[in-house]
Structure 1
């Protein structure tokens, strides 16, 4: 009699970048995460562009409806099992575009609720740690569940050689750290969903 091995559930990750620059280091982290995910069985990452979102204005809401770009964005978040944030640090906090995206998806019904999440940052100074801590605080209200470890902070100003001229991550040691984040996010998501 043949033994049937159950296929590993596919975890769908929505990846958001808080920087709108095409060659930003944080976008580079997302591109690298997508590439790395191809070597992780059962993990799929989709980049969700937040640039088209209008600034939050509840006058744009109808009775239970949102502008089409917002509706499409909210649906992508709703369909995802977990979230990967690439969060630069602006003035000791998260960027305005990322906060705007977070706020739109939090409008009732809150589509962030009960999802696993992870944060990676490439920034100056502390490598984005302050933005990550603020994002974790926001996540408490949104019922987002962040992995605690490992953490990923990269001081891109002190170590620009870790990226190429297009903002792509080229440093193998940091690629390894990024893959560890993805594996941790996958396992935590499976635990939250009762599949592990």
Structure 2
């Protein structure tokens, strides 16, 4: 009698990029993560969520606890996800204004970030966006977001050899492999949190 292999539960991952620039290297990281999740990891369903349509946070835009359609649609995407992948560039030693704005909208009562697993990837100069990771982790404490601890991924985009092509697509094989490791860790942690919540 053949053993029955249980199907791995599908983890829904919402992928957010803190840069609005079309040629952003961080958006390139998201594209790579999407490709990897489709081609070489079973059990991950990832969707890129565009934060550019969100208005700047202003509670005057809320009416009787209701949000505008664009904000509500964004909040619903976060609510329906099991985990979050942030591509977080570093601006002035911290997270970007668009990303913080998106985080704040989804934290308005009821907070839709709570009890989700999360991971951060980033690319930039110097430390590759690493300082933004620590601020994002601090924000996550209040939101009850649970970040994976390892592996960390921050890539110096300007150190030779070239890591991206002229369209902002990641071309560095070792970096692609590291992103895959991040996704596998995020998947495993998401499954652990799901089991604990039952």
- TM-score between both structures, scaled by the size of structure 2: 0.96
Q: Counterpart of 2:164? A: 163
Return the alpha-carbon distance in structure 2 between the equivalents of residues 157 and 35 of structure 1. Answer: 23
Following the alignment from structure 1 to structure 2, what is the Cα–Cα distance between the partners of residues 170 and 150? 20
Return the offset for 1:3: 3.1
TM, length-normalised to structure 1: 0.97
Deviation at 1:160, TM superposition (A): 7.0
Listed as ranges, the matches of 1:177-196 within 5 Å are 177-194=178-195
Alignment of 1:70 onto 2:71: yes
**1:113-132 alignment runs, 5 A limit:** 113-132=114-133
Identify if the C-alpha distance between structure 1 residues 23 and 160 changes in structure 2 by more than 3 Å, giving closer, same or farther: farther
1:15 equivalent to 2:3? Answer no
Alignment deviations for residues 40-70 of structure 1 (CA, whole Å, 9 cap, x no partner): 0101110000000000000000112101000
Give me the CA root mean square deviation.
1.1
- The match for 2:150 is 149
Structure 1 unmatched ranges of 5 or more: none
- Secondary structure at the aligned position of 2:73 is classed as helix
**TM superposition outliers: structure 1 runs of 4+ over 6 Å:** none
Residue 156 of structure 1 and its aligned partner are, at CA, apart by: 1.1
2:134 is equivalent to residue 133 of structure 1: yes
Q: How many residues align?
A: 195
